[in-house]
């Protein structure tokens, strides 16, 4: 594919927290119109990567390009305007608890556009209809189930018809039915809108059903990538451990510790 076919290009990206390396030389290319997953163990830098793409964080080295624009070189005002082309579904939804379902979804439209309220009303109801919750428009988030709240958050992420949608653990805490509903909504809405989706997730089974491509991150680096079928057939030890949910492998079950016999025998003679 030519560069024009990729919405997001990440090149030699490095990021440190307080001098400690978190991401080390990340390279990724996200094609337009695809759903791409980023997988890896807890604390490996997946959510940090989303924040770098969204411009919340600045890398120590390398670049993040979205639609040809270098995100990490943008000044605040330009970045704020550019984010109109991005949608974000936060972990657990992050709805505004004091606003109704309707006002939660309408919020990006009111914040980022000068559309008349009548048009905002129609667009908001259309987004709620797309996730099956137009009938919940007057409810507050505390009246929703976990799955319903996540669908409202998805409608809010889609409110501005963004070119790029990012999902931070969209399946966390959901029952199997709600998980399946959210997964299919992500796939269907992405295809219907022509958007590009990047999904950080630990949920292997659901993700393999809906994504087009997967990047696996370990110790701050991309250690494997491929389609779902390639991931299932992978001989990479980390991928096999991750997909198979195995307790031991490249990610060890036991943390380094002194020899057990020496430690216990030594303790006995103290």
- Reported as a pLDDT band with limits 50, 70 and 90, residue 177 is confident
Can you give the pLDDT at residue 240? 80
Least confident range from 19-28, 57-66, 177-186, 245-254: namely: 245-254
Is residue 169, in this structure, part of any structural domain at all?
yes
Is residue 152, in this structure, part of any structural domain at all?
yes
Is residue 239, in this structure, part of any structural domain at all?
yes
Structural domain for 222, as ranges: 3-247
pLDDT digits (tens, 9 = 90+) for 58-92: 988 999 999 888 998 889 889 888 888 888 888 76
Instruction: Specify the CATH number for the domain of residue 126.
Output: 3.40.50.300
| Mean local confidence (pLDDT), 122-142 | 91
Report the distance separating Cα 64 and Cα 72, nearest Å: 6
| Mean local confidence (pLDDT), 196-216 | 88
Q: Using DSSP, state whether 73 is helix, strand or coil.
A: helix
| Mean local confidence (pLDDT), 208-218 | 90
239, burial (CB in 10 Å: exposed 0-12, middle 13-18, buried 19+): buried
| Mean local confidence (pLDDT), 233-241 | 79
The pTM of the full predicted model, rounded to 2 decimals, is: 0.83
Can you give the pLDDT at residue 239? 77
Q: How far is CA 93 from the centre of its chain?
A: 12
The two structure tokens encoding residue 259: 């020899």
pLDDT above 60 (res 172): yes
Can you give the pLDDT at residue 179? 83
Is residue 35, in this structure, part of any structural domain at all?
yes
Is residue 261, in this structure, part of any structural domain at all?
no
Provide the angle, in degrees to the nearest 10, between the axes of the packed helices 146-157 and 176-193. Answer: 10
pLDDT digits (tens, 9 = 90+) for 246-265: 655 555 545 567 777 777 77
Report the distance separating Cα 110 and Cα 194, nearest Å: 23
Is residue 111, in this structure, part of any structural domain at all?
yes
| Mean local confidence (pLDDT), 14-30 | 87
Q: Using DSSP, state whether 101 is helix, strand or coil.
A: helix
Q: Which residue has the higher pLDDT, 264 or 98?
A: 98
Number of domain units in the chain: 1
116 C-beta neighbours (distance < 10 Å), count? 9
Can you give the pLDDT at residue 203? 79
| Mean local confidence (pLDDT), 157-162 | 90
Is residue 213, in this structure, part of any structural domain at all?
yes
- Reported as a pLDDT band with limits 50, 70 and 90, residue 270 is very low
């Amino acid at each position: 594919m030519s560069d024009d076919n990729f919405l997001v290009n990440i090149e030699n990206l490095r990021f440190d927290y307080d001098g400690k390396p978190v991401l080390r030389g990340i390279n990724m290319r996200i094609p337009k119109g695809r759903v791409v997953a980023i997988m890896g163990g807890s604390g490996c830098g997946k959510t940090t990567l989303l924040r770098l793409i969204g411009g919340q964080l600045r890398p120590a080295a390398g670049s993040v390009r979205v639609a040809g624009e270098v995100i990490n070189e943008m000044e605040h005002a330009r970045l704020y305007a550019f984010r109109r082309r991005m949608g974000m579904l936060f972990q657990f939804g992050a709805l505004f608890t004091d606003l109704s379902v309707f006002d939660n979804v309408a919020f990006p439209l009111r914040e980022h556009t000068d559309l008349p309220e009548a048009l905002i009303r129609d667009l908001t109801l259309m987004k709620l209809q797309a996730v099956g919750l137009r009938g919940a428009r007057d409810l507050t988030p505390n009246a929703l189930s976990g799955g319903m709240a996540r669908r409202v958050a998805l409608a809010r992420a889609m409110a501005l018809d963004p070119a790029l949608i990012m999902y931070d653990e969209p399946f966390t805490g959901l029952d199997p039915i709600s998980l399946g509903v959210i997964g299919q909504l992500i796939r269907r809405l992405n295809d219907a809108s022509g958007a590009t989706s990047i999904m950080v997730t630990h949920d292997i089974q659901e993700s393999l059903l809906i994504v087009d491509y997967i990047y696996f991150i370990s110790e701050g680096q991309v250690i494997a990538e491929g389609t779902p079928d390639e991931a299932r057939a992978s001989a990479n030890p980390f991928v096999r451990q991750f997909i198979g949910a195995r307790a031991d492998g490249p990610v060890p079950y036991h943390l380094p510790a002194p020899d057990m016999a020496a430690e216990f025998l030594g303790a006995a003679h103290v």
